[in-house]
Amino acid sequence: MEEVEDEVHDEEGNSGPASRRRTNVARIVRDARLVAKVKWLHGDECQVCGLQLPIRFTNYSEAAHIRGLGRPHNGPDELENLLVLCPNHHVQFDGLAIYIRRDGTVLSTRDESWVGELRRHPDHVISEAHLRYHRALCGRDDRS
């Protein structure tokens, strides 16, 4: 069995650490307490599929903003604008591949196929206005 070298190589095969560069970036500051609260309320379970993704000593989930915080959406950083999602459903939600109907049904924007039913918690009220905004981005009218 070959011994594995404990070295870092760049693309040309040279060993050494990756280079560093200083940058100055303005970014949106999220309220970590809101993220922790919504994940706790849902037990780190995806509100679309119920997946609780185990990692070493805990579970992993992502807090997704329904109406994005950045431009052009300028959504608020508030509990009513958050969902707890697994990484796959977070990417699909942000990529407008899935949307949530008023009745809580989660559908694919590609073919309207059923994806899931939104899991809710009594202490986590989700803004219908933010869901409506997301549906509009997905090209779905408000009748659904």
pLDDT tens-digit series, residues 4-61: 455 555 566 667 888 899 999 888 888 999 999 999 999 999 999 999 999 999 999 9
pLDDT confidence of residue 26 = 83
Query: Containing H/E element for 72?
Result: none
Which pLDDT tens digit goes with each residue over 82-110?
Answer: 999 999 999 999 999 999 999 999 999 99
The DSSP code for 88 is: H
What's the CA gap between 140 and 80, in Å, rounded? 21
Q: Does 118 have pLDDT greater than 80?
A: yes
What's the CA gap between 18 and 37, in Å, rounded? 36
Q: Does 117 have pLDDT greater than 60?
A: yes
- CA distances from residue 122 to 15, 41, 57, 80 in whole angstroms, order as listed: 54, 9, 28, 12
pLDDT confidence of residue 11 = 63
pLDDT confidence of residue 63 = 98
Count of Cβ atoms closer than 10 Å to residue 72 Cβ? 5
pLDDT confidence of residue 15 = 74
pLDDT confidence of residue 104 = 98
Note whether 87 and 62 are within 8 A (CB): yes
User: What is the number of residues in the chain?
Assistant: 144
Q: H helices of the chain, where?
A: 32-41, 87-94, 128-137
Note whether 7 and 15 are within 8 A (CB): yes
The DSSP code for 87 is: H
Q: Which residues of 25-60 are buried (b: 16+ CB within 10 A; e: fewer)?
A: eeeeeeeeebbebbbebbebbbbbbebeeeeeeeee
Unique residue bearing structure tokens 């073919």: 111
